Structure 1
Amino acid sequence: MKTQEFLNLLESNKDKSLVFEYTPNQYVGANYHITEVKHIKIDSVDCGARTDAWNETIIQLWESPKELDKREYMTTLKALGILNKVGKMKPYDLDSEVKFEYSNASFHTAQLFVNDFDIQGQHLIVKLAVEKTDCKAKDACGVTEAPLTVEAMQGEPCCTPDGNCC
């Protein structure tokens, strides 16, 4: 989901509580805070020696240990207020992908992308998911979608000095 789409989603659901599902049926606690918004510029080179660049908006969620008994979630209106204030200080790239950085005692720190959302009663539930790593240069590296068997690879070098990579 793009940053503009996320802000629009909040804007159109101002009367809802904002709930994050970080893995199926596991929710960020109602004691969460938005503790940081990062405007990330990625400048990369993939394993096929191709360059790429893009921006991301990363919103960090943190559960306050002093508010473990809290039962009411942050409202979308409050989250929108926080994010709008950030946008005035450091403008967003509204076309950038929005991700959420989160962890807890039983879930590793991860940057999660928005997979979907659902409205259940007075809750706007933002469904997050882990993004799997992938080879962006499959064609340049000769990577096939189906894994090669050991027999199919015998006699062929894994990498060559002239650019065969991965």
Structure 2
Amino acid sequence: MLSSDNQKIDPVLPMDPTDLTIGDLLAALADHKDRPLVFQYDGRRVKPGYHVTEVKAGLFSALDCEANPESWSEIFVQLWDVDEGGPVHMPAGKFAAIIRKVSDHVALDQAAKLTFEVSDGVRPMELHRAAQPSLVGEAVEVELSPRPSSCKPRDRWLKEQAAASGCGASRCC
């Protein structure tokens, strides 16, 4: 959810505050369907003619580095950062309509981890996570940052340490 003074209002935070879900993103865009949707990455905005070239959903099963079984669902939205669509960025409502159309054919878990695959057609595709959208002027802006790798056993241990110290997920330690 967004406020008009560029403040983020989080009605429901994803379990990991560094990962926005597709449900979170669609909920944030719902009241702003006519506003331009602008993604930012590498310190710049996507070009006004960007395309959503693919949306895919995956269910993953893996073993982490300590041989613990892991499983999760993830949705990948592929953005082609080109200037072929005109002088304005895609409206948030059009982006939401694209996701709805995909969901008519592909099961999209609204709570799945959301990853953006971004390329300008020349540079290799890069994986990004999305921050909570914010209103900047007349546009809805979504900051994308590179998705880092992590060690799940270490992440679990750090979370347990924070909980034991009374800090929980607030990262006050």
Judge same fold: TM > 0.5, yes or no: yes
Q: CA deviation at 1:91?
A: 2.2
| TM-score (norm: length of structure 2) | 0.72
Structure with higher Rg: it is 1
2:67 to 33, 37, 49: 49
Question: Shift in Å at residue 122 of structure 1?
Answer: 1.6
Q: How many residues align?
A: 137
Q: 1:43-75 CA distances to partner (integer Å, 9 max, x unpaired)?
A: 11111000100001111011346x28x321100
Q: CA deviation at 1:36?
A: 0.5
The answer as to whether partners of 2:63 and 2:69 remain within 8 angstroms in 1 is yes
* TM-superposed deviation, 1:28: 1.1
Letter in 1 for 2:68: R
- 2:57: which partner in 1? 39
Could you tell me the TM-score, scaled by structure 1's length? Answer: 0.75
- Asked if the contact 1:7/1:80 (under 8 Å) is kept, the reply is yes
* Structure 2, unaligned runs of 5 or more: 1-19, 157-173
Instruction: Please list every run of at least 4 consecutive aligned residues from structure 1 whose deviation after the TM superposition is greater than 6 angstroms.
Output: none
Q: 1:96 to 1:109 in 2, by over 3 A?
A: same
What code does the residue aligned with 1:35 have? T
Q: Distance in 1 between matches of 2:105 and 2:72?
A: 21
CA distance in 2, matches of 1:86, 1:4: 14
Partner SS for 1:89: coil
AA matched with 1:19: V
Q: How far apart in 1 are the matches of 2:23 and 2:76? A: 13
Aligned pair partner of 2:92 in 76, 92, 96: 76
Contiguous gaps of at least 5 residues in structure 1: 141-166
Deviation of 1:117 after TM superposition, in Å, equals 2.2
**Quick one: structure 1 residues 80 and 138, their matched pair in 2 at CA, closer, same or farther if it must change by over 3 Å?**
closer
SS in 1 for 2:39: strand
Check 1:61–1:105 CA distance in 2 against 1; reply closer, same or farther (3 A cut): closer
Q: CA deviation at 1:138?
A: 3.3
For 2:80, which of 62, 84, 95 is the aligned residue? Answer: 62
Deviation, 1:106, is 7.6
In structure 1, the residue matched to 2:6 is none
Q: Indicate the residue corresponding to 2:41 in structure 1.
A: 22
Question: In structure 2, the residue corresponding to 1:112 is in which secondary structure?
Answer: strand
Q: How well do the aligned residues superpose, as a CA RMSD in angstroms?
A: 2.2
Among 93, 116, 126, the residue aligned to 2:142: 126
1:3 partnered with 2:18: no
Counterpart for residue 138 of structure 1? 154
Give the number of the structure whose residues are more often strand, by fraction: 1
Write the distance in 2 (CA, Å) between the matches of 1:139 and 1:93: 24
Aligned-partner Cα distance in 1 for 2:52–2:155: 40
